[in-house]
Amino acid sequence: MVTLEHTIKNKLGIHARPAGFLAKFAKEHENCTIFCREANSSKEYDVKNVLSVMGAQFKCGDDVIFKIDSKEKISEDLIRKLRELLEKHF
Amino acid sequence: MKVLKGIGISDGIAFGKLRAYRKDFFSIHSMRIFKEDSESEISKFKHAKELALKQLDVLYNHALKDVGEEHAMIFDVHKMMIEDIDYSNSIMNIIRDEKANAEYAIWLTSRNFEKKFESMESEYMQQRAADVRDISRRLINCMNNYVQTDVSSEKKEIIIGCDDLSPSELLELNRNYVKGFITILGSRNSHTSILAKSMNMPAIISLGDQLKPDFEGCNVIIDSFAGAVYVSPDRSTIRRLKRKKEMYDKQQELLSSFKGKDDVTLDGQKITLCANVSNILDIEAVRDCDASGIGLFRSEFIYMGKRSYPTEEEQFKIYKTAAEKMSPEHVTIRTLDVGADKQISYFDIPKEPNPSMGYRGIRVCLDRPNIFKTQLRAILRASAFGNIRILIPMISLLDEIIRSKNIIEECKKELKEEGLKYDEDIQIGIMIETPAAVMISDVLAKEVDFFSIGTNDLVQYSLAVDRQNDKINFMFNPQHMAILRMIKLVCENAHKEGISVGICGEIASDDKMTEIFLSLGVDELSMSSPFVLGIRRKVRGVNVSAIKDEILSKL
């Protein structure tokens, strides 16, 4: 398990489009599951689900924890790509 | 013949055969069927999903060319929603567990997601409920191979009938054959209505249960002026509406003949006729009516219907597009006028006992300079791409102008340091909409480049008549002697300092007032686009020198 912490910089929060990018990313990496949750909450969302991630209403300035779960070893490459995605759209 | 009454959208009269756009989504819940074979229902759903995704691909590319990325984006977002796993799982679970047909499972899933979004605080998220309904409908239509695909291949003039039409569906229609639409639901200010207006497609919305499924295939006439739909019209109605349409078309033609002509009176007095806009879509209409610029760009609409503050970049793009599309004519951007009857949730403005006299307009901007600066930087950057003017609302003190100008200077300095371009000589004007501003207009005129009189608020404040109060609505009179005298005073004070005066309230489009405005020497009138050519016709028939003295003697 690997966790990444990210502060939302997108002024609209995680709205439809970023949520969509994230879901696409998760579907492309089937051997792992990616969850996200607000830093001080325990409610987790599977990022494959655009509608529930949008429903979580993450706002600009929120600290969000992204967790990658996998039975296999999680590659550095995957982590780097996820981080890039977050920097770009979130 | 049956006559249905609703709300008319975008001017016009249209004839055609009524075609149902699709199976009525709202009646699906009563179509629940118990199916033994869940797997075949699931594969029906999966097939529909594939088809829907393909459709959305085609639509995205089509819309990208037709209306640009901003409006095309909706199809991309819809694709992602259809691919949502919770959404699909919910549909498949309902099919399996409740032995329901796929249509019902989609309908119920849609309702659940819609409710969730509708209950959210932010307006942006609330609007997503409509998107969920939109994708769910698309799936059901794909499953039934329903008329939606038929409609676009129809080869005769038709009027579309349906429960409600989404912006994406409106954009899909083949405009060569679809002459108008009628809906059970809908509101005047919805995105669909705004789009219909900019597409010049007449529509009657909000018909409720008057619109019956058995009207399918009937001849109908829609008259958006009267907000009426005539089903199977009799001969005399057809004749009457044909005549009305001819007259309207002729009038439009006559008005078009005023395109390209100057706004000048018989005796050579010039006046600038401009249009008011609330978004980029309105600009097409401004070009169409040949207005000499935008006298009022209501920037608060960029802030409304959003989840949080629009960024500098986002605003810059909008203002830049407006400036480029209107160049060389001017675009007058009124800075954020939030508060009063325009509340935006994320501004967190506490409830006030008297909002129209409360925390609004420039008062908010000066109190929250960061929001103001973001907008000013965006406007200044866009000013490098056309002819932009800044207009500051709700001024009642000289100090508010001085402080606003200081902030503008600060923004200019920052941009210069960052190496970003802007118009050094950008004009700064103020709204004259408080009686205080009228009374000190001689002082204010020394500080700004132009005045714009906002008659709606000026009337409300001067006559002490609340615009929103139906009981005293009859007292809301922009032609009150007090208002006309105020306009006169403002014009005199402005012209003494050599600056121009515009009027941008409703009253600017009233052709009974044109002669008075010309006599007072108003320099600019700004109104909704559809009125511009009518006022131009009026202006070109006036001989100011012959009427001026009499009109002024009465004030």
Check CB contact of A15 with chain B, cutoff 8 Å: yes
What pLDDT is stored for residue B217 in this prediction?
A: 86
What pLDDT is stored for residue A57 in this prediction?
A: 82
Residue B499: CB atoms within 10 A of its CB come to 19
Residue B143 has pLDDT above 90, yes or no: no
Token pair, residue B245, equals 């349409």
Beta bridge partners of A85: none
ipTM score assigned to the predicted complex: 0.71
CA dist B124 and B303 (Å) reads 11
Residues of chain A with C-beta less than 8 angstroms from the C-beta of B80: 16-17, 19-20, 23-24, 50
Q: In what order do the strands lie in the sheet with A32-38?
A: A2-7, A63-70, A32-38, A45-46
CB contact under 8 A, B87 and A51: yes
Q: Which of A12, A15, A51 faces B113 most closely, judged by CB atoms?
A: A51
Helices and strands of chain B, counted as H and E runs: 22, 16
Give buried/exposed letters for A2-23 (b at 16+ CB in 10 A, else e).
beeebebebbbbbbbbbbbbbb
What pLDDT is stored for residue B200 in this prediction?
A: 80
Tell me how far apart the terminal alpha carbons of chain A are, to the nearest angstrom: 22
Nearest CA in chain B to A61: B308
**Range among A40-49, B72-81, B145-154, B362-371 with highest mean pLDDT value:** B362-371
Q: Which of A15, A17, A51 faces B86 most closely, judged by CB atoms?
A: A51
Residue B125: CB atoms within 10 A of its CB come to 20
Residue B11: CB atoms within 10 A of its CB come to 14
Residues of chain A with C-beta less than 8 angstroms from the C-beta of B84: 23, 48-52
Was domain A2-89 assigned CATH 3.20.20.70?
no
Count Cα neighbours of B415 within 13 Å in the Cβ-side half-sphere: 23
Does the bond joining B328 to the residue before it have cis omega, within 30 degrees of 0? yes
Nearest CA in chain B to A24: B80
Rg (CA), chain A: 12
Residues of chain B with C-beta less than 8 angstroms from the C-beta of A60: 308
Q: What is the mean pLDDT of residues B223-238?
A: 95
B314 backbone dihedrals φ, ψ, rounded to 5°: -60, -45
Q: What is the mean pLDDT of residues B59-80?
A: 77
Chain B residues contacting A via beta carbons under 8 Å: 73, 76-77, 79-81, 83-87, 113, 116-117, 120, 122, 124-125, 128, 131-132, 306-311, 314
Nearest CA in chain A to B88: A49
What pLDDT is stored for residue B153 in this prediction?
A: 55
Mean pLDDT of chain B: 88
Could you give the 3-state DSSP secondary structure of residue B425? coil
- Judged by average pLDDT, the poorest of A5-9, B221-225, B431-435 is A5-9
Residue A77 has pLDDT above 60, yes or no: yes
Residue B70 has pLDDT above 70, yes or no: no
Band (B149; pLDDT cuts 50, 70, 90): very low
Q: What is the mean pLDDT of residues B366-375?
A: 96
What pLDDT is stored for residue B26 in this prediction?
A: 55
Tell the residue number behind the tokens 């129209």, with chain if given.
Answer: B356
- Higher confidence at residue B302 or residue B270? B270
CA dist B436 and B433 (Å) reads 8
Q: Which of B79, B81, B311 faces A51 most closely, judged by CB atoms?
A: B81
What pLDDT is stored for residue A2 in this prediction?
A: 87
Answer for the pair B29, B217: CB distance below 8 angstroms, yes or no: no
Q: What is the mean pLDDT of residues B178-193?
A: 83
Name the pairing type of β-strands A2-7 and A63-70: antiparallel
Give kind and range of the element (H or E) at residue A83: helix A76-89
Give domain limits for chain A: 2-89
Name the active-site residue from B191, B218, B365, B411.
B191
How far from B384 is each of A49, B300, B321, B415, CA to CA, in Å?
43, 22, 12, 12
Tell the residue number behind the tokens 């060569």, with chain if given.
Answer: B176
What percentage of chain A has pLDDT greater than the value 90?
A: 2
Residue of A54, A57, A58 to mutate for B, most B C-beta atoms under 10 A: A54
How far from B36 is each of B29, B45, B57, B183, B272, CA to CA, in Å?
19, 16, 34, 36, 71
Residues of chain B with C-beta less than 8 angstroms from the C-beta of A25: none
User: A46: exposed, middle or buried (C-beta count within 10 Å: 0-12, 13-18, 19+)?
Assistant: middle
Q: Which of A15, A24, A49 faces B85 most closely, judged by CB atoms?
A: A49
Q: What is the mean pLDDT of residues B535-546?
A: 95
Band (B129; pLDDT cuts 50, 70, 90): confident
Task: Choose among B522, B454, B456: nearest CA to B492.
Answer: B522
Check CB contact of A48 with chain B, cutoff 8 Å: yes
Q: Which of B80, B122, B124 faces A50 most closely, judged by CB atoms?
A: B80
Band (B518; pLDDT cuts 50, 70, 90): very high
What percentage of chain B has pLDDT greater than the value 70?
A: 94
Tell the residue number behind the tokens 């300035």, with chain if given.
Answer: A61
Q: What is the mean pLDDT of residues B462-481?
A: 86
CA dist B464 and B376 (Å) reads 32
What pLDDT is stored for residue B240 in this prediction?
A: 94
What pLDDT is stored for residue B414 in this prediction?
A: 96
- Judged by average pLDDT, the poorest of A22-26, A80-84, B408-412, B415-419 is A22-26
Count of A–B CB contacts within 8 Å?
A: 63
Beta bridge partners of B385: none
Answer for the pair A7, A79: CB distance below 8 angstroms, yes or no: no
Nearest CA in chain B to A19: B80
User: B466: exposed, middle or buried (C-beta count within 10 Å: 0-12, 13-18, 19+)?
Assistant: middle
- Higher confidence at residue A74 or residue A66? A66
- Judged by average pLDDT, the poorest of B69-83, B172-186, B386-400 is B69-83
* Tens-place pLDDT, residues B19-66: 887 655 556 655 677 777 888 889 999 999 999 998 888 888 877 877
Chain A nearest C-alpha distance from B120 (Å):
8
Band (B315; pLDDT cuts 50, 70, 90): very high
CB contact under 8 A, B80 and A23: yes
CA dist A12 and B408 (Å) reads 26
What pLDDT is stored for residue A59 in this prediction?
A: 82
Q: Looking at chain A from residue 16 to 45, which residues have their Cβ under 8 Å from any Cβ of chain B?
A: 16-17, 19-20, 23-24, 27
Residue A70 has pLDDT above 90, yes or no: no
Token pair, residue B218, equals 């009937």
CB contact under 8 A, B85 and A60: no
CB contact under 8 A, B76 and A20: yes
Q: What is the mean pLDDT of residues B77-84?
A: 87
CB contact under 8 A, B83 and A59: no
CA dist B362 and B479 (Å) reads 27
Residues of chain B with C-beta less than 8 angstroms from the C-beta of A16: 77, 80-81, 128, 131
Active site residue B191: yes
Task: Choose among B520, B529, B523: nearest CA to B554.
Answer: B520
At position B528, the amino acid (one-letter code) is: S
At position B439, the amino acid (one-letter code) is: M
CA dist B146 and A48 (Å) reads 31
C-alpha torsion B211→B216→B217→B219, nearest 10:
0
CB contact under 8 A, B117 and A46: no
The dihedral of CA B278, B281, B285, B291: what is its sign?
positive
Q: What residue ranges define each of the domains in chain B, with the CATH number in brackets?
A: 1-20+153-256 (3.50.30.10), 23-145 (1.10.274.10), 257-554 (3.20.20.60)
Q: What is the mean pLDDT of residues B422-430?
A: 97
The dihedral of CA B232, B235, B236, B242: what is its sign?
positive
Q: What is the mean pLDDT of residues A55-84?
A: 86
Residue B277 has pLDDT above 60, yes or no: yes
At position B97, the amino acid (one-letter code) is: D
Residue B152 has pLDDT above 70, yes or no: no
Q: Which of B77, B122, B309 faces A16 most closely, judged by CB atoms?
A: B77
Angle between helices B85-97 and B38-67 (to 10 degrees): 150
* Tens-place pLDDT, residues B329-342: 999 999 999 887 77
Give kind and range of the element (H or E) at residue A65: strand A63-70
Residue A19 has pLDDT above 70, yes or no: yes
